[in-house]
């Protein structure tokens, strides 16, 4: 499909509200190319190491003089037990010590321009014990608009997979492996030490990578394969070009089985381990669903290739530009859609990370939260109610999973804070993934689905190939919804309080008046949590009449007094289910009459379960 | 064919001992009632006036269940402790009842008559209580050995097969669990025969009954295992039958009468399972009696003494 056709395609799916906002603004076709990376790397499969030469051409696109360069050397996060990363992960640190499993990135030589002076000894680590960020003071500042050539020779010692780098048997996953420049933004470098709960942040660049490795290895990589050369002596060299991306990674395994599919002009290649080939159709189908959904809403996918790799890394999957990894599990029975959910999540990241390259270290919620929220939508649209688990009548969706994990740890950390400030990995996960998804679902409830779709569509188009921030997102949301949303974002993003509203009492008194029998009702509502969100209250009467009241949700106790000719049947807080942040739906309604049948059914089922447990106990 | 014969004899004996089945069911029912009452209080508080509780009439709404757990987490922790302590007490009570049940089943099978008085039942329960408790404690030791074997076997498997393909490791994991399950089954079976031994032989030490039960199972390994597996299979068949009936009742609607019928269906299955427990014991008694001559020290209790005990 031509670019023009792809450009037009979103218009076919999007509602008018988005089109009116987008009128006159074309999608950004390409990013600002701040750097280009030209890397030649050799994998020494037996020694488990990489030997590489890298040429970076960096251009100062800022309005400031740059007098220092900052590089990320991610493999050094696993150099010894004293690194920031391992200090933040006790279990991993002990495992590395026990197995004597370490990684490192050593710069052997660094020269600038055509100079012959090796500057590698002038590299200064940010801290004594952490070599994941090094800085190089420049003899002459780089002026705005000027470019600089940097030549680096480096060696990487690969560990048995730690986090996202290393080998497992004869499988290699080589991610975050080369010296990479930080992002110079707002007159300062944003180049963060690699720590638990932080993710890389980089500028868009042009990558040209030559990988030399044993010829029996099947390789999956970011970007496009340009050439493959047999070197003899059992090695081959593959050349990849990845334009307009902010990272480059690759994986290799002698046993990968490759499956190909396509969506319009996007080629999808899936690399699976032999044991997992039975999942190929499911994964490819999920990837296509996600690509199609996101392309139609958040702007077309600008690359002609998507590579999916089956590899074992920390977490279930990893997003990389034009490539995703998923940890496929060997489980022949189809009780859940784990692989589909991970695939969809990582494909959605091609937008909310790949093209909207947010600062994952400082505001991880912005890409992880949006991605988790959109993943749940795609899963529900594609697979229905039980889209995550559907087993023996028990149905559980991806969104319910998000809410469950949010409830698990709902108030430890705020959503918006740097990754390294989260209390635990679980707290990071629940805040940036689950709470963010639940919060966005709540925002959708308040704004309406159409407005929320527009917010995401406009945000993703406006900041395509950029580095948007949380405040850019808020600004778009306020602009599109035409309202001040600080009442929502302030407590949700920056607070740890929880939301819980309850109907505590329905009091009714009968009295005789001129018109006949009249009921005086007093309905008591309570705010049990600290988070304040406006809520609607529906009061339904026995004669079928319904009243909708609004409550700003501020008072601890709120009373509604009213008169009617019929008794109250039920009072419901948030009758349309807009407020997903409420941590207890069970106290959101109160009926006048008991739900005897429902409770009886639940109780008898539990009773029967206990009887079954006792059947086992009588075996002794 | 012998398996079927023992099964049929066991069936006849357990039906004739219907009072024991009722005792087992009533014991189970009252125990479950005792366990469920505190939980029902929590459930009523959350769901009695909750509009969304009507979801339970048609499906298990996990969102409501999750919210219930989250909002009652402290209460549920206390309930869990209560549940576990009560479960231990119920297991001990069951051990107390087991002595009389085994003895009366043996008597019925061997003599063909089924005299039953509550007083006689509890006298027999008291008579065998300490020996059955000791058997229970010994059985726990055996289960610990089985679990230790499982752990060691798992570690060994990891060391040997850790690098093999995922499909092989998956199948091997199944095999490992099947082996552990089989060993646990052997423990259950052996201790069932030990219990039969205790109520069949007078003045015998508990350790000796375990040893002789092991000898018995060892010498009749094939027959004993086939019979037990056959019996377990029969019990397993009730699960899909119940499942199908339960689903069928769901289709009838959500009226009060259907809910009561569903409850009755559940209790019918509970009664069937109580009788099935008797069937397992009776079939094993039949098997034991058919092969007991292999035991070198088997000396049945004197019938005269037994009869005099029963007449009191």
Domain range list for chain A: 31-222+235-245, 501-598
Tokens of A379: 């899963």
Whole-number Cα distances in Å, B155 to B152, B163, B166, B180:
5, 13, 16, 14
- Count of helices and strands (H, E) across chain A: 14, 31
pLDDT score for B167? 82
| CA gyration radius, chain B | 23
pLDDT value of position A440: 97
* Average predicted confidence (pLDDT) for chain B: 88
Q: Å from B107 to nearest chain A CA?
A: 21
Q: Name residue, tokens 């969706």.
A: A397
| A615 interface with B at CB cutoff 8 Å | yes
Phi first, then psi, for residue A114 (nearest 5°) are -100, 15
Q: How far apart are CA A39 and CA A250, in angstroms?
A: 13
State how far the Cα of A425 lies from the Cα of A431, in Å rounded to an integer. 10
Q: At what angle do helices B166-200 and B118-161 cross, to 10 degrees?
A: 150
Same fold, A31-222+235-245 and A501-598: yes
Report yes or no: A465 and A30 within 8 Å, Cβ to Cβ.
Answer: yes
Q: Are the CB atoms for B217 and B284 separated by under 8 Å? A: no
Which three-class secondary structure state does DSSP give residue A551?
A: strand
For A299, the 3-state DSSP assignment is coil
Q: What is the pLDDT of residue B48?
A: 93
CA A204 to chain CA centroid, Å, is 19
Within chain B, how many helices (H) and strands (E) appear?
10, 0
Is residue A8 pLDDT above 70, yes or no? no
Residue appearing with tokens 């089922």: A605
pLDDT band at A21 (very low <50, low <70, confident <90, very high): low
For B37, residues 6+ apart whose C-beta sits below 8 A from its C-beta are none
Q: Is A264 helix (H, G, I), strand (E, B) or coil?
A: coil
pLDDT digits (tens, 9 = 90+) for A269-303: 999 999 899 999 999 999 999 999 999 999 999 99
Residue A612's closest chain B neighbor by CA?
B270
Per-residue CA distances from A529 to A293, A423, A559 (Å): 36, 22, 17
| Closest of A133, A154, A131 to residue A79, by C-alpha | A131
Q: How sure is the predictor about B125, in pLDDT bands with cuts at 50, 70 and 90?
A: very high
Percent of chain A, pLDDT > 90?
81
Please say whether the beta carbons of A587 and B52 come within 8 A: no
Question: What are A529's two structure tokens?
Answer: 């949590």
From the CA of B298, how many Å to the nearest CA of chain A? 24
Q: How far apart are CA A173 and CA A167, in angstroms?
A: 6
Is A511 in the B-facing interface, judged by CB distances under 8 Å? no
B10, HSE (Cβ side, Cα atoms, 13 Å): 27
Query: pLDDT (tens digit, 9 = 90+) per residue, A69-118?
Result: 999 999 999 999 999 999 989 999 999 999 999 999 999 999 998 788 99
**A509: DSSP letter:** E
User: Do A466 and A358 touch, CB atoms closer than 8 A?
Assistant: no
Average pLDDT over all residues of chain A: 91
The answer to whether the CB atoms of B56 and A591 lie below 8 A apart is no
The alpha carbons of chain A give a radius of gyration, in whole angstroms, of 28
- Mean pLDDT to the nearest integer, A378-404: 90
Residue B242 pLDDT grade (very low, low, confident, very high; cuts 50, 70, 90): confident
- Per-position DSSP letters for B12-39, written without gaps between them: HHHHHTHHHHHHHHHHHHHHHHHHHHHH
Q: How close B202 gets to chain A, by Cα (Å)? A: 22
Closest CA to A111 of A69, A151, A138, A71: A151
Is pTM beyond 0.90 here?
no
Fill in the DSSP letter of residue A596.
H
**Interchain pair B48, A330: CB under 8 A:** no
CB contact under 8 A, B67 and A585: yes
Query: Using a CB-CB distance cutoff of 8 angstroms, which residues of chain B are in contact with residue A581?
Result: none
Chain B residue numbers with beta carbons less than 8 Å from the beta carbon of A586 are: 46-47, 50, 52, 64, 67-68, 71
Antiparallel, parallel or unpaired: β A224-232 and A235-245: antiparallel
Size of interface A-B (CB pairs under 8 A): 155
Secondary structure of residue A205 in the 3-state scheme: strand
Contact A412, A496 (CB under 8 A): yes
The ipTM, to two decimals, is 0.89
Domain A501-598: give its CATH code: 2.60.40
Per-residue pLDDT, averaged over B250-275, amounts to 89
H-helix or E-strand spanning residue A92: helix A90-99
The answer to whether A375 and A392 have CB atoms below 8 angstroms apart is no
| Pairing of the two strands A250-253 and A218-221 | antiparallel
Q: How far is B235 from chain A (nearest CA, A)?
A: 11
Interatomic CA distance for residues A568 and A570, integer angstroms: 6
Q: Flag whether residue A407 sits within 8 Å of chain B, measured between CB atoms.
A: yes
A333 lies within 8 A of chain B by CB: no
Confirm or reject contact between A618 and chain B (CB < 8 A). yes
Say if residues B136 and B210 touch (Cβ distance below 8 Å): no
Asked if A32 and A157 touch (Cβ cutoff 8 Å), the reply is no
Distance from CA of A322 to the nearest CA of B (A): 28
Query: Is A31-222+235-245 CATH 2.60.40?
Result: yes
Residue A48: is its pLDDT beyond 80?
yes
**Strands (DSSP E) found in A246-400:** 250-253, 257-263, 266-272, 305-310, 317-320, 323-326, 389-391, 394-396
pLDDT value at A228 more than 90: yes
Residue A213, exposed/middle/buried by CB under 10 A (0-12, 13-18, 19+)? buried
Q: Mind giving me the DSSP string for chain B?
A: -HHHHHHHHHHHHHHHTHHHHHHHHHHHHHHHHHHHHHHHHHHHHHHTT-GGGGGGGTS--HHHHHHHHHHTHHHHHHHHHHHHHHHHHHHHHHHHHHHHHHHHHHHHHHHS-----HHHHHHHHHHHHHHHHHHHHHHHHHHHHHHHHHHHHHHHHHHHHTTS-HHHHHHHHHHHHHHHHHHHHHHHHHHHHHHHHHHHBSS--HHHHHHHHHHHHHHTHHHHHHHHHHHHHHHHHHHHHHHHHHHHHHHT-S-HHHHHHHHHHHHHHHHHHHHHHHHHHHHHHHHHHHHGGG-TT--BPPHHHHHHHHH-
The pLDDT tens digits of the residues spanning A559-602 come to 999 988 899 999 999 999 999 999 999 999 999 999 999 999 99
**Candidate from A15-19, A282-286, B86-90, B257-261 with smallest mean pLDDT:** A15-19
Q: Which has the minimum average pLDDT: A240-244, A304-308, A615-619?
A: A615-619
Task: Compute the CA torsion angle A434, A438, A439, A443 (nearest 10 deg).
Answer: 150
Q: Closest chain B residue to A600 measured between Cα atoms?
A: B259
Categorize the per-residue pLDDT at A512 as very low, low, confident or very high, splitting at 50, 70 and 90.
confident
The SS3 assignment for A506 reads strand
Check A602 against B163: CB less than 8 A apart. Answer: no
CB contact set of B34 (below 8 Å; sequence gap of 6+) = B86
Does A330 contact B36 at a Cβ distance shorter than 8 Å? no
Residue A610 in contact with partner chain B when CB distance is under 8 A? yes
* B36·A393 Cβ contact <8 A: no
Q: Are A38 and A55 in contact (CB under 8 A)?
A: yes
- Residues of A within 8 A of B139 (CB-CB) are 620
Instruction: Write out the H or E segment, with its range, that includes residue A546.
Output: strand A546-551
What one-character-per-residue DSSP string does A128-193 give?
SS--SEEEEEEEEEEPTT-EEEEEEEEEEEPPB-BTTEEEETTEEEE-S-S-EE-EEETTEEE---
Q: In whole angstroms, what is the distance from residue A506 CA to residue A571 CA?
A: 8
B305 confidence band (pLDDT: 50, 70, 90): very low
Residues from chain B that touch A332, judged by Cβ atoms under 8 A, are 170
Tokens linked to B138: 């010994």
Residue B24's closest CA among B196, B282, B288? Answer: B282
Which residues lie across from A50 on neighbouring strands? A43, A156
User: Looking at the partner chain, which of B40, B56, B169 has a beta carbon nearest the beta carbon of A598?
Assistant: B56
Q: DSSP 3-state helix, strand, coil percentages of chain B (rounded to 5)?
A: 90, 0, 10
Report whether A408 contacts A390 (CB < 8 A): no
Mean pLDDT of B73-91: 95
Nearest to B66 among A407, A614, A618 (CB): A407
């Amino acid at each position: 499909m031509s670019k023009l056709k792809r450009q037009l395609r979103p218009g076919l799916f999007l509602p008018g509200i988005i089109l009116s906002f987008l009128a006159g603004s074309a999608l950004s076709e390409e990013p600002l190319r701040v750097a280009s990376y030209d890397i030649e790397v050799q994998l020494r499969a037996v020694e488990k190491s990489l030997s590489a030469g890298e040429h970076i051409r960096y251009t100062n696109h800022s309005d400031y003089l740059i007098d220092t360069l900052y590089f990320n050397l991610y493999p050094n996060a696993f150099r010894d037990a004293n690194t920031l990363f391992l200090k933040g992960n006790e279990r991993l640190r002990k495992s590395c010590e026990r197995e004597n499993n370490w990684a490192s990135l050593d710069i052997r030589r660094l020269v600038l321009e055509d100079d012959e002076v090796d500057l590698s000894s002038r590299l200064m680590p940010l801290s004594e014990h952490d070599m994941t960020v090094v800085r190089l003071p420049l003899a002459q500042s780089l002026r705005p608009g000027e470019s600089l050539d940097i030549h680096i020779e480096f060696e990487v010692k690969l560990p048995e997979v730690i986090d996202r780098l290393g080998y497992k048997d004869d499988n290699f996953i080589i991610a975050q492996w080369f010296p990479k420049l930080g992002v110079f933004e707002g007159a300062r470098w944003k180049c963060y030490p690699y720590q638990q709960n932080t993710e890389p942040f980089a500028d868009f660049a042009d990558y040209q990578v030559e990988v030399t490795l044993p010829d029996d290895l099947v390789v999956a990589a970011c970007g496009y394969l340009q050439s493959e050369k047999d070197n003899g002596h059992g090695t081959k060299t593959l050349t990849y070009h990845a334009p307009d991306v902010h990272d480059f990674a690759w994986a290799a395994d002698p046993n990968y089985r490759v499956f190909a599919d396509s969506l319009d002009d996007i080629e999808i290649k899936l690399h699976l381990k032999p044991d997992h080939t039975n999942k190929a159709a499911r994964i490819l189908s999920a990837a296509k669903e996600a690509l199609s959904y996101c392309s139609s809403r958040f702007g077309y996918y600008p690359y002609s290739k998507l590579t999916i790799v089956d590899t074992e890394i920390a977490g279930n999957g990893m997003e990389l530009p034009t490539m995703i990894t998923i940890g496929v599990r060997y489980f022949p029975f189809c009780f859940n859609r784990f692989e589909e959910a991970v695939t969809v999540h990582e494909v959605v990241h091609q937008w909310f990370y790949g093209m909207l390259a947010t600062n994952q270290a400082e505001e991880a919620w912005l890409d992880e939260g949006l991605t988790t929220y959109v993943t749940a939508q795609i899963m529900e649209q594609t697979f229905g109610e039980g889209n995550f688990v559907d087993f023996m009548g028990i149905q559980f969706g991806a969104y319910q999973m998000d809410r469950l994990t949010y409830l698990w740890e709902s108030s430890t950390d705020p959503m918006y804070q740097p990754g390294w400030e989260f209390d635990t990995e679980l707290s990071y996960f629940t805040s940036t993934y689950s709470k963010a998804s639940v919060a966005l679902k709540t925002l959708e409830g308040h704004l309406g689905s159409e407005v929320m779709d527009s917010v995401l569509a406009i945000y993703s188009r406006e900041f395509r190939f950029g580095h948007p921030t949380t405040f850019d997102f808020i600004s778009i949301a306020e602009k599109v919804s035409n309202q001040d949303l600080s009442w929502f974002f302030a407590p949700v993003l920056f607070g740890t309080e929880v939301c819980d509203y309850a109907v505590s009492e329905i009091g009714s008194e009968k009295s005789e008046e001129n018109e006949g029998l009249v009921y005086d009702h007093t309905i008591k509502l309570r705010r049990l949590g600290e988070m304040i969100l406006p809520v609607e209250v529906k009061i339904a009467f026995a004669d079928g009449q319904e009243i909708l009241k609004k409550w700003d949700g501020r008072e601890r106790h709120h009373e509604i007094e009213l008169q009617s000719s019929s008794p109250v049947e039920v009072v419901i807080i948030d009758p349309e289910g807009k407020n997903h942040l409420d941590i207890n739906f069970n106290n959101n309604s109160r009926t006048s009459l008991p739900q005897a049948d429902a409770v009886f059914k639940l109780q008898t089922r539990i009773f029967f379960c206990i009887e079954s447990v006792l059947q086992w106990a009588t075996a002794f | 064919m012998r398996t079927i014969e023992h099964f049929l004899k066991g069936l006849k004996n357990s039906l004739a001992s219907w009072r024991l089945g009722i005792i087992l069911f009533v014991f189970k029912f009252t125990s479950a009632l005792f366990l469920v009452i505190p939980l029902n209080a929590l459930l009523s508080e959350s769901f009695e006036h909750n509009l969304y509780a009507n979801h339970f009439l048609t499906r298990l709404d996990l969102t409501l269940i999750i919210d219930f757990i989250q909002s009652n987490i402290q209460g549920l922790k206390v309930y869990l402790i209560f549940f576990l302590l009560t479960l231990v007490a119920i297991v001990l009570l069951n051990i107390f009842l087991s002595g009389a049940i085994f003895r009366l089943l043996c008597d019925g099978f061997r003599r063909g008559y089924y005299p039953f008085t509550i007083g006689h039942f509890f006298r027999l329960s008291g008579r065998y209580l300490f020996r059955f408790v000791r058997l229970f404690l010994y059985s726990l030791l055996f289960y610990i050995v089985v679990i230790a074997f499982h752990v060691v076997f798992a570690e060994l498997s990891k060391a040997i097969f850790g690098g093999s393909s995922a499909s092989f490791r998956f199948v091997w994991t199944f095999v490992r669990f099947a082996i552990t399950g089989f060993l646990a089954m052997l423990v259950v079976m052996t201790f069932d025969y030990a219990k039969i031994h205790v109520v069949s032989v007078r003045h015998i030490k508990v350790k000796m009954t375990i040893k002789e039960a092991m000898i018995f199972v060892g010498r009749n390994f094939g027959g004993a295992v086939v019979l037990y597996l056959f019996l377990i299979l029969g019990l397993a068949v009730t699960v899909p039958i119940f499942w199908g009936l339960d689903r069928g009742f769901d289709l009838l609607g959500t009226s009060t009468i259907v809910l009561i019928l569903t409850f009755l269906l559940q209790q019918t299955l509970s009664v069937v399972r109580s009788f099935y427990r008797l069937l397992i014991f009776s079939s094993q008694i039949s098997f034991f009696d058919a092969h007991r001559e292999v035991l070198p020290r088997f000396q049945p209790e004197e019938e005269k003494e037994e009869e005099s005990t029963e007449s009191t």
